[in-house]
Structure formats: structure tokens, C-alpha cells
Amino acid sequence: MSASVRPKPYLEPQYCKGCLRCIEACPRDCITPGSAINPATGLVPVELHLENCNGCTLCLQACPEPYGLRLETDRAGLEGEFVLEDPAKLFGEKCVPNHSEGDLPDDRRALPDCEPLVLKGTYATAIGALLAGCRHVFGYPITPSTEGAELMARILPKLNGHFVHAVSEVAAVNMMYGAGGAGLPCMTFTSSPGFSLMLEGVSYMIGAEVPGVFVNMMRGGPGLGNIAPEQTDIKLACRGLGHGNTHAIVLTPSTPQEMLDLAIDAFALAFRYRNPVILLGDGYLGQMTGKVRLPASMIRPGLPAWAVWGDRAHRHNLISSIALAEADLEDHNEHLNRKYAAITACEQRVDCYRCRDAEVLVVACNTPARMAKGAVETARENGVKAGLFRPITLWPFPIDALAEIMPGVRRIVVVEAGPGQLEDELRLALSHANIAPPPIDHVRRCGGNLPAQDEILATLLAREEVLS
């Protein structure tokens, strides 16, 4: 193309901030500092004198504004001989598959009946995640949760999936932000100190509405604590998921079977609500081996319409948690609040064991719920009408089911491996529901000790003697 036909620059003065970087760039001195303030911007745009311009475009490369110096050919409505080629014409159509508008739905595939598996809890969760369509796992080793990640590291490469041993929990959660933002099911295995580190990323995921599943096998704290089971991240999971207005569904398994079943549910919930889901277990649940049956089907995940996938159909999507204008951020929070309200209305889950006629209600979750179940059984044999109320969602707390039972309940005993975080959730839920609770006793252990069945039974029976 000869110099005489190369397009020349043009400038809409209101888009020039007058930085003058173009002046030095021009080898022919075609640009001079302006002399007049632009009334729209209050700035002084440069002035172009294009008599000597040969269309070298060096000034364009110096201009920091996308709509600052441009070629005449880019001018809206300008008909000229200079037509920019469509990149597709020059380079061929993209090899990327273009998804149609809207969600590409999950595909459910039937599984044959299988013999029950004998699995460690973390393995059961890993297998649940695989069946739920998760092929992207990001993690950092931490006892007592590591085995799940190790199993994924063995299996995923054989399924063309990816396990990344990240440089830290902080990096791992942000890899989830990426893979989840691309619309795929992803997860991590961690334990309490690692979960603390991930919370910044969890807040970002909630703000940007990125799904992902966090498996936290709680261990003893605070600080480095120890590696034995505790339930002292209930506060974090239910009330403290990083900064800002955050909530996530918190699922509390109590058997290896539930470690698998709830992992599958966790992915469905994460995508239904575009939100992280926390699978909150204790160290024993991660390590305990037991009988696990496989579900009737597995999932090949689809692709949601909102995904930042890297193709034409999803090009206009944005994963972001920033909303600079106060009104925008308030709107966004109100949107989140409506989501939280919907979750609270629709997703409360509980296992009620012998609660229908219960006068003494034991509230427990995770492994301590199993000790509690044993104690309830024995208390019944001793004539005490005990029942076990075992939340399967800690957030939202299953208050609707509790409210139905409460009229007959004379006493509550909260059993937990911690100093009262479960009891706080219970009391808060009762308070919000305007239910005046009966006396609440508790059996609390910590440091890695779990409440023993006999301790629980003693508490169940003790006051009964006092009362009778």
C-alpha cells in the first residue's frame, strides 16, 4: 500500500485527554498541543495538522485512549476505499465450538447396580465429585483431608481431568474461581487452617457468583491446633465466609455414605444458586471407612449461559465482584439477599431420628451425631423420650422442621466437638423464629476429643433424675 493511500488519523476532541504522548511519536510534526479547552471534558485536546501525514500510525500507538486517535477508516459512517478485513476471513473460522444461547444442560447417565464400596470418607467425597461431573480439583495437602486430593490426583489424569497441587490454599481457591467462572464443576479438599486461608477467595466467589465445592474436614484449633477432629469451623462456614455479605450452603455429612451423597448434592446446589457450597465434616469423617453405595446415575456437566468460557457465545460474560457505584453494589447485595432467602426457604435439610414424640431433643451433626444417636437409643431403653435432630444443612439451619417438633420438647441437649458454635447456630435460628427455647444443656468436647456416647447418655439421664 503506498503512502498516498494509507489512512490518516482523526480525533474526536472530547476523547483526547491532552497527554501529548502522540506529539513526540509523530516524525513529521503533524500534531501540536491544543490551545482551547474542550467544553465537554475541561481538558485541552491536541490539534492535528495532517498536510504532511503519511499515515504511519505511530501516533496511534502512542495514544492511551481506545477512542482517542483513530484511523479515518474507523470513523462511524465513513464510506471509504479502506475496508478492514474481517479477521475470520483472514484467519479462518475459529476452531472453538460455539454454544447456542442459554444453558447447555447437564446430561445424566445411568449407572449399573454395583456392589457396595468400602470407602474412606474423603474417598467417598472424591468419588461423589467425579460422579457429579467434577474434573477440576485444586488443592494443597493438609491432614486429615489430603487423601481425597490424592485419589483425585490418581484418577483425574486418566479421565483427562486436572488436579493441581497449588502453591497454597490461596492459589487453590483462585484456580477454582477461574475454573468455576468458566462454568465447570470444581472443588478442593482442605481442613481448618487451609479453609481459613481460602476465605478471601470464597468471598470473591460469592460476590462474583462462582460455583465451587469446598470440602473442609475440620480439625483442632485455634492456630495449628492438632489434626484430630473438631467442629470449630461452624462459625466460619455459617457466619464468616470472608469479608462482606456472604453465605453459602453448609452441608454436614455424618457417614461415609453421606460424604458421597452430599458431595453430589453440593455440586447441584452450587450451580443451582451460582454460589460456593461447603461440605463440612470432621477429621473422623475424612478418615473413617464404611459402606458406600453408588447412586443410579452420573453426570456429564453442561455449560451455563453465564460462563466465561472463551468462545463467541460467551464472549460478553463477566465474572466480577466489583461494583464501584454505591447504588450498583446495593443492588447486587439485594440480589444476593434474595438468593439467600430462596436458599433458606428451599434448602433446609435435617435428619430427625425418633423426634416425633421426643421430649428431650439432642441436636448434633457430623460424627458426634452418631455418638448422639447411640445415646438416644440407650436413653429410650432407659425410658427417656429422647430424639436426635441432626441438621444436614447448618446454613440454612433447618428451623422449619425444628419449629414443628418444639411444642413437645421439654429440653434440648446440644452435642458438639467444640465450645458451642453449633449451639450458637441453634440459638440464633430459634431467636429469628421467635421460638422461646426450653432449657438448653450441652455436651462439649474439644482438642480432638469427641463427645462419647456415655457422656451424652449421662447428660440425657442426669437432669431427667433432677426433674422427676
Find the binding residues for another protein in span 419-458 (CB under 8 A). 450, 452-454
Nearest approach, Cβ of 107 to another protein (angstroms)? 8
Residue 260 to residues 291, 295, 375: CA-CA distances in angstroms?
A: 11, 9, 26
Which one among 73, 245, 321, 333 touches another protein, defined by CB under 8 A?
A: 321
Question: CA 249 to CA 268: how far, in whole Å?
Answer: 11
Among 173, 170, 177, smallest CA distance to 209 is for 177
Reported as type and span, the H/E element at residue 413 is: strand 411-416
Of 40 and 346, CB closest to another protein: 40
- For another protein, which is the closer residue by CB, 20 or 440? 20
Amino acid at 9: P
- The answer to the question of residue 201 lying near another protein (CB under 8 A) is yes
Binding part of the chain for another protein, among 1-9, 14-22, 264-272, 439-447 by CB under 8 A, reads: 14-22
Q: Grid cell 498516498 — which residue?
A: 4
The answer for residues whose C-beta is within 8 angstroms of residue 230's C-beta and 6 or more apart is: 192, 218, 219, 220, 221, 282, 283, 417, 418, 446, 447, 448
Q: Is the dihedral of CA 310, 312, 313, 315 positive or negative?
A: positive
Q: How far is the CB of 69 from another protein (least distance, A)?
A: 9
Site residues (CB under 8 A) for another protein, limited to 352-381: 367, 370-371, 373-374, 377
Name the one range near another protein by CB under 8 A: 189-197, 200-208, 261-269, 427-435: 200-208
User: Which C-beta is closer to another protein: that of 63 or that of 360?
Assistant: 63
- DSSP helix/strand/coil, 3: helix
Site string for another protein, 118-157 (x = CB under 8 A): x--------x--xx-x-xx-x----xx----------x--
Contact flag: residue 3 with another protein (CB under 8 A): no
Which of residues 49 and 291 has its CB atom nearest to another protein in the complex?
291
H/E element, 466: helix 453-467
Q: Is 177 a binder of another protein (CB under 8 A)?
A: yes
DSSP state of 185: -
- Out of 49, 315, 335, 356, the only residue in the binding site for another protein (CB under 8 A) is 315
Pattern 269-288, binding to another protein, x per CB under 8 A?
Answer: --------------xx--xx
Does 296 contact another protein by CB under 8 A?
A: no
Find the shortest distance in angstroms from Cβ 174 to another protein: 4
Least Å distance, CB 386 to another protein, is: 13
- Helix axes 366-381 and 453-467, enclosed angle (nearest 10): 50
Q: Is 329 in the site for another protein (CB under 8 A)?
A: no
Q: Under DSSP, is residue 402 helix (H, G, I), strand (E, B) or coil?
A: helix
Give whichever of 175 and 279 is closer to another protein, judged by the CB atom.
Answer: 175
- Figure out which of the listed residues 2, 4, 35, 160 binds another protein, where binding follows CB under 8 A: 160
CA angle 454, 121, 297 (to 5 degrees): 125
Contact assessment for residue 279 and residue 251, using Cβ atoms and an 8 Å cutoff = yes
Positions in 222-241 near another protein (CB under 8 A): 226-228
- Is residue 400 exposed (0-12), middle (13-18) or buried (19+ Cβ within 10 Å)? middle
